[in-house]
A = this chain, B = another copy of it.
């Protein structure tokens, strides 16, 4: 039966030279398993390095260019403003102006609120929306990202910093450590980009980020209960249990009903505005200007009614004037350097993850490419400059970038506009914020962060990949029930564990023939696939490395044993051949070679022939250099499973 199938399909694939005497008029074209000429070590190493660090081939365009052209291109590469600036026009400016004004109106109240999350005075949030956007506008290549302090990084840096220094008792030290962390965050980001190590942020999986962001959003919203309920003594911890206990114990005496009325009213207003903007995209500006409108209304209300005398907490004082220098405040020596470095590195990674994700999302929507490493250099430089001008860590804000995009921004000029408005605010109108109630800032932050709870993404993750879902939930509950750092640690650990699990326990499947073809496929996926008597075909679905070589060997032997038992039970012929389909085996290391050798020896003792089908070029190279192909026999390495099976069935017929 197999032989018949064999004959009927013999006219399309291809055996190697091992059976020259078996010629027939229908003999197909003959191919050997290819083995490209061995590369020398230096070349191989260079290729690996290039593919790791320069896979996007950034120097391609510099080929065949004169020296001055190269210089100009390098300048444009580093400062894209020289590229898009040359074709900037009034039409684009109109778009940028509207977008810039819109995001400015959104960022001012957010900045004041976020700086509270970082345990810093309100002006530092505004400072961070002045200098960094300007630098990003010159160096960044995303057209849509809006730069400034963001909720999650503010919460993260606030909670990491207060583990080291008390923000109330040692205010000056706390501030200095914040600048130090910002400085090292900038250094980290720029270094990652410059060394083209940007791929490191990819190790935070999408699922982990969704969980982490959702958890952080809940945590941030819970923190705002302090302001919305007007609670005076509030826990410093961020986990939900401490926060709810704090809320509960202060219920009888600590809540302030006037504050609650203001907070809830405006929260309802903001959520309504958000809903309107979501329902009809034309009204995207409604949620965008709602916060500043709320601030103005609430401030006027408090100013007129003097509700602050009824216990409604107000902002009170924001320092007037532009960013003072803070170079002398950064710790370059002493025990705080290491602490600042650690906090900086963690915040840098989260900041990068957020900014790059935003940049990529909008780049995909407008169909332009973004060089992640270049972005990192821009973000890093802007944070280094920020740390010297009294800013804390800034990055791309998702909510403001979305508004920027919808308001029709064309270039990073919208960031410059925003920056200019913030400058004016700092110079002129900060005193007007005196009577702004804290409750309104809390409401603004709550309405801003709830968008980070992406339940639709969570549902999709659940549907697609359960391991991803575990990682997502681990990060979420870690942040909500323990702390931001622990949530982050859980997210990273689960992501890594998933990778390691995959390389430790790769899949191996049994292949069968699809009747009427020469195709061999997984018998689980294609129930119609037939076993070939006397032959076991196993496909190994992974590179064979030290981490899985023993497993692959043992698992293959287990497949064989199971098939042998089955064959015995069904009274079929003894198994004489084990074919390993090597197509997915993209690489093999010395441990893998040893495992194959052991497998070969083990099979030989059981009088079973090991046959390899379609080893790739790297695997062939290594089989040759380890001389394992001589053990197995070059005759027993075939281009396709079909060829291998044909060889086996012929051989069984010759030697009955």
Set of chain B residues within 8 Å of A205, measured between Cβ atoms: 545-547, 589-591
Set of chain B residues within 8 Å of A360, measured between Cβ atoms: 550
Known: A466-B45, A467-B589. A51 touches B505 (CB 8 A): yes
Instruction: Assess the A460–B514 pair: CB atoms within 8 A.
Output: no
Contact mask for chain A residues 31-54; partner B; CB cutoff 8 A; 1 contact, 0 none = 100111000010011001001100
Known: A36-B525, A541-B586. 15 other contacts (CB 8 A): A13-B517, A29-B514, A52-B505, A56-B554, A56-B558, A202-B548, A204-B546, A205-B589, A360-B550, A364-B601, A464-B590, A464-B622, A519-B640, A522-B616, A541-B584
Q: Which of B51, B506, B514 contacts A586 (CB 8 A)?
A: B506
Instruction: Assess the A464–B526 pair: CB atoms within 8 A.
Output: no
Cβ-closest 3 pairs across A and B? A205-B546, A29-B516, A525-B617
Set of chain B residues within 8 Å of A264, measured between Cβ atoms: none
Set of chain B residues within 8 Å of A583, measured between Cβ atoms: 583-584
Set of chain B residues within 8 Å of A524, measured between Cβ atoms: 36, 617
Set of chain B residues within 8 Å of A519, measured between Cβ atoms: 13-14, 31, 639-640
Provide the bound-state CA to CA distance between A357 and B543, in Å.
21
Q: Which of B9, B367, B506, B548 contacts A12 (CB 8 A)?
A: B9
Nearest Cβ on chain B to A514's Cβ, whole angstroms: 6
Known: A35-B525, A586-B541. A547 touches B464 (CB 8 A): no
Query: Can you report 10 residue pairs joining A to B where beta carbons are below 8 Å apart?
Result: A11-B12, A12-B518, A28-B517, A31-B526, A56-B558, A204-B546, A364-B598, A364-B601, A499-B499, A522-B616
Provide the bound-state CA to CA distance between A229 and B590, in Å.
39
Provide the bound-state CA to CA distance between A620 and B617, in Å.
28
Interface residues of A in 513-534 (CB under 8 A from B): 514-519, 521-522, 524-528
**Chain B residue at smallest Cβ distance from A41:** B466
Nearest Cβ on chain B to A620's Cβ, whole angstroms: 7
Instruction: Assess the B207–A516 pair: CB atoms within 8 A.
Output: no
Q: Which of B206, B372, B465, B525 contacts A34 (CB 8 A)?
A: B525
Provide the bound-state CA to CA distance between A468 and B592, in Å.
11
Provide the bound-state CA to CA distance between A547 and B464, in Å.
17
**Chain B residue at smallest Cβ distance from A597:** B364
Check A317 for interface membership: any CB of B closer than 8 A: no
Known: A41-B466, A464-B590, A504-B202. A517 touches B31 (CB 8 A): yes
Instruction: Assess the A206–B591 pair: CB atoms within 8 A.
Output: yes
Check A71 for interface membership: any CB of B closer than 8 A: no
Chain A, interface residues (CB within 8 Å), range = 35 or more
Nearest Cβ on chain B to A165's Cβ, whole angstroms: 27
Q: Which of B460, B499, B541, B584 contacts A626 (CB 8 A)?
A: B460
Contact mask for chain A residues 356-367; partner B; CB cutoff 8 A; 1 contact, 0 none = 000010001001
Set of chain B residues within 8 Å of A12, measured between Cβ atoms: 9, 11-12, 517-518
**Chain B residue at smallest Cβ distance from A595:** B206
Check A501 for interface membership: any CB of B closer than 8 A: yes
**Chain B residue at smallest Cβ distance from A528:** B31
Provide the bound-state CA to CA distance between A473 and B239, in Å.
47
Check A573 for interface membership: any CB of B closer than 8 A: no
Check A313 for interface membership: any CB of B closer than 8 A: no
Instruction: Assess the B14–A546 pair: CB atoms within 8 A.
Output: no
Interface residues of A in 470-524 (CB under 8 A from B): 495, 498-507, 514-519, 521-522, 524
Set of chain B residues within 8 Å of A541, measured between Cβ atoms: 584, 586, 616
Set of chain B residues within 8 Å of A526, measured between Cβ atoms: 31, 34
Instruction: Assess the B591–A525 pair: CB atoms within 8 A.
Output: no
Set of chain B residues within 8 Å of A500, measured between Cβ atoms: 203, 499
Check A86 for interface membership: any CB of B closer than 8 A: no
Set of chain B residues within 8 Å of A207, measured between Cβ atoms: 546, 589-591
Interface residues of A in 537-560 (CB under 8 A from B): 541-543, 545-551, 554-555, 558
Q: Which of B206, B505, B586, B598 contacts A594 (CB 8 A)?
A: B206
Check A280 for interface membership: any CB of B closer than 8 A: no
Instruction: Assess the B464–A517 pair: CB atoms within 8 A.
Output: no
Nearest Cβ on chain B to A173's Cβ, whole angstroms: 30
Q: For A465, A548, A622, which residue has the most chain B Cβ atoms within 10 angstroms?
A: A465
Q: Which of B45, B460, B528 contacts A590 (CB 8 A)?
A: B460
Instruction: Assess the A28–B521 pair: CB atoms within 8 A.
Output: no
Interface residues of A in 617-645 (CB under 8 A from B): 617-618, 620, 622, 625-626, 639-640
